């Protein structure tokens, strides 16, 4: 059964185009590595269209960009994950120098799994939205 989780809307003090450009090229996200805890820095790699990370106890998970609609939507999908899901980043302009963003995750979850992971998944989505909103997009 398809289950959808949405973050609350975040305002970002950068233009829609600047945020889109940074988020649509995952190799530019390499700068995020310095903000990670030191013991997690080696567990994540960034390439143009893919992020691969180690998630104990699950193992290695890869997420890749599967669609771009410049400058408003970037769609990601799991390339290697025990729980397949899609993630969308939606960007809308507010002014020439600010935009708003919402994240959406859609996953095919059975009722048992949904009950176990709904709360942590929603919390993780909100933390990811906070991190993206706090990013630098110059």
Q: Which pLDDT score is estimated for 72?
A: 96
- As a whole number of angstroms, the distance between CA 138 and CA 83 comes to 34
End-to-end CA distance of the chain: 40
What H or E segment, with its residue span, contains residue 100? strand 99-108
Q: Which pLDDT score is estimated for 87?
A: 92
Mean pLDDT by 10 residues, the chain (138 residues): 92 96 79 63 77 73 92 93 89 97 91 83 85 86
Which is nearest to 83 in space by CA: 40, 124, 37?
Answer: 124
Q: Which pLDDT score is estimated for 26?
A: 78
In terms of phi and psi (left: phi > 0; alpha: psi -120 to 50; beta: otherwise), the region of 54 is: beta
Q: Which pLDDT score is estimated for 34?
A: 64
- As a whole number of angstroms, the distance between CA 4 and CA 122 comes to 10
Q: Which pLDDT score is estimated for 61?
A: 83
DSSP 133: H
Q: Which pLDDT score is estimated for 58?
A: 65
């Amino acid at each position: 059964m398809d289950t959808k989780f949405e973050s609350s809307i975040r305002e970002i003090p950068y233009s829609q185009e600047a945020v889109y450009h940074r988020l649509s090229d995952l190799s530019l996200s390499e700068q995020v590595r310095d903000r990670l805890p030191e013991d997690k820095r080696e567990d994540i790699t960034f390439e143009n269209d893919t992020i691969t990370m180690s998630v104990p106890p699950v193992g290695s998970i890869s997420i890749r960009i599967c669609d771009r609609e410049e400058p408003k939507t970037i769609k990601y999908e799991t390339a290697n994950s025990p729980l397949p899901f899609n993630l969308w980043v939606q960007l809308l302009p507010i002014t020439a120098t600010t935009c708003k963003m919402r994240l959406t995750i859609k996953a095919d979850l059975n009722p048992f799994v949904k009950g176990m992971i709904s709360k942590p998944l929603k919390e993780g989505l909100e933390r990811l939205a906070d991190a993206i909103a706090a990013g630098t997009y110059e």
